[in-house]
Amino acid sequence: MNITYEKTSQEENCTKQEMEFSALYRLQHWVRALSIVVLIATGFYIAVPIITPVPSAEPTNFMYALFRSWHIIFGFVLISVILLKSYLFLFGKKHQEERKALKDVFDIKIWIQQIGYYLLICKHPKLSGIYNPMQFLAYVGFYIMVFGLITTGLILYIHVYHESLGGFLYEPMRSIEVMLGGLAFVRQLHHVLMWGVILFILGHVYMAVYNAIFGKEGTIDAIFSGMKWHKKH
């Protein structure tokens, strides 16, 4: 019993719990995750309607319009949280640890150690921020795809809604549409970017579980509680 107690105390003394993600960061993360899931589900239906509405004598059962309306609603929710997250990353005082991660992207030694960690042949490197260089570049790619989805989505939006916001965005979005080669290509690009986001999500979940198992720092818990365990140096 004494040996077990001493070992546990030693482990506790070697680690400390620190705030990894703020409450606002965690909120926007889960709102963003929900929005993406809804957008993927409704987007698949809009592309290929696989559900037939219940037969009705009243011409009011517009299932396709219902799916499209939810797609648009959550599209604007996603735009909101993406703009919020971008602001927090660039200017948020509590998010400077995210910005510090850029430094490691240019450190070849960190890259080698990080790849070795994923291959289970060396320990996790000491990072400047909360992301390793592979994570940082993956997130950069993710946001490029999301901003591409937002842009192509707004182009498709203005061709259905011509008043209010649609009317305001019509001319600038039409100019981008022309630069991209037309509406048909915009629609295809929207679908391709969606598949890119799906692949990112699969990799993101896999790596989160991987780091939670091998890192033993409460990686997954941190996105719920905000707290993560770090080894004392």
pLDDT of 13 strictly over 70 = no
CA distance 26 to 222: 9
Q: Give the model's confidence band at 62: pLDDT under 50 very low, under 70 low, under 90 confident, else very high.
A: confident
pLDDT of 57 strictly over 80 = no
Residue 227 parent element (H or E): strand 227-231
In CATH, the architecture of 20-231 is Up-down Bundle (1.20)
Query: Could you tell me the pTM of the whole model?
Result: 0.84
Output the pLDDT for position 130.
Answer: 83
Q: Which residues contact 35 (CB under 8 A, 6 or more apart)?
A: 74, 75, 77, 78, 81
Specify the 3-state DSSP secondary structure of 218. coil
User: 167-170: long-range contacts at Cβ-Cβ below 8 A with a sequence spacing of 24 or more?
Assistant: none
pLDDT of 7 strictly over 70 = no
pLDDT of 102 strictly over 50 = yes
Q: What is the pLDDT of residues 104-143, one digit of tens each?
A: 999 999 999 999 988 888 888 888 888 889 999 999 999 9
Q: Are 190 and 71 in contact (CB under 8 A)?
A: no
Q: What is the pLDDT of residues 189-214, one digit of tens each?
A: 999 999 999 999 999 999 888 887 87
